Amino acid sequence: MSGAAHRSLWQRRLVDPVVAQLRQGITPDRIALTLALATVLGVFPILGATTFLCALAAIWLRLNQPVMQLANYLLTPLHLALLLPFYRAGEMLFGQAHVPIFSVGELLARFQTDPLQFVVDYGRVALYGICVWALLAPFAAALLYLTLRPALQQLARRVRPA
């Protein structure tokens, strides 16, 4: 993919919707908060939960739902890439042995041997991942907000008529 095509996709999928929101009067602070929370919630270490969490946060804080969900969906590759690191970090944090995650054969064998223990083991792994995420999320959200806010304020000055 060429640089121009890549920029065009980036422009169409993220920058244009943000610019549209700025032109409609949404403040740079609100957009920065929306994007920061969407990013942090978008990497929550449970598959299928991010859309629901982003929707709840947007409703509760009266943030822009389309921008929140757009950022969430664009973060899907990062979300998938961070699942294993969250789980492994949680296992290390709690001093637990690694539970096999990618071996389908091993997963099936564990499930067939003891379905209840399977649910307990993988439920624990998920809980450990959530704990690591919960420890990191506030710092990541604050850092993202503080980084995005000035950039969005500058963008707002450029796109809004004086």
Query: What is the reported pLDDT for 133?
Result: 98
Query: What is the reported pLDDT for 21?
Result: 86
Query: What is the reported pLDDT for 79?
Result: 97
What DSSP letter does each residue of the chain carry, written as one string?
--HHHHHHHHIIIIIHHHHHHHHTT--HHHHHHHHHHHHHHHT-SSTT-HHHHHHHHHHHHT--HHHHHHHHHHTHHHHHHHHHHHHHHHHHHTT-PPPP-S-HHHHHHHHHH-HHHHHHHHHHHHHHHHHHHHHHHHHHHHHHHHHHHHHHHHHHHHHS--
Q: Which pTM value belongs to this model?
A: 0.84
Query: What is the reported pLDDT for 153?
Result: 93
Query: What is the reported pLDDT for 5?
Result: 56
pLDDT tens by residue, 89-122: 999 999 999 998 888 888 899 999 999 999 999 9
With a pLDDT cut of 70, the percent of the chain lying above it is: 93
81-84: Cβ within 8 A, 24+ apart: 82/43, 82/45, 83/45, 83/47, 83/129
Residue ranges of the chain whose pLDDT lies below 70:
1-10, 161-162
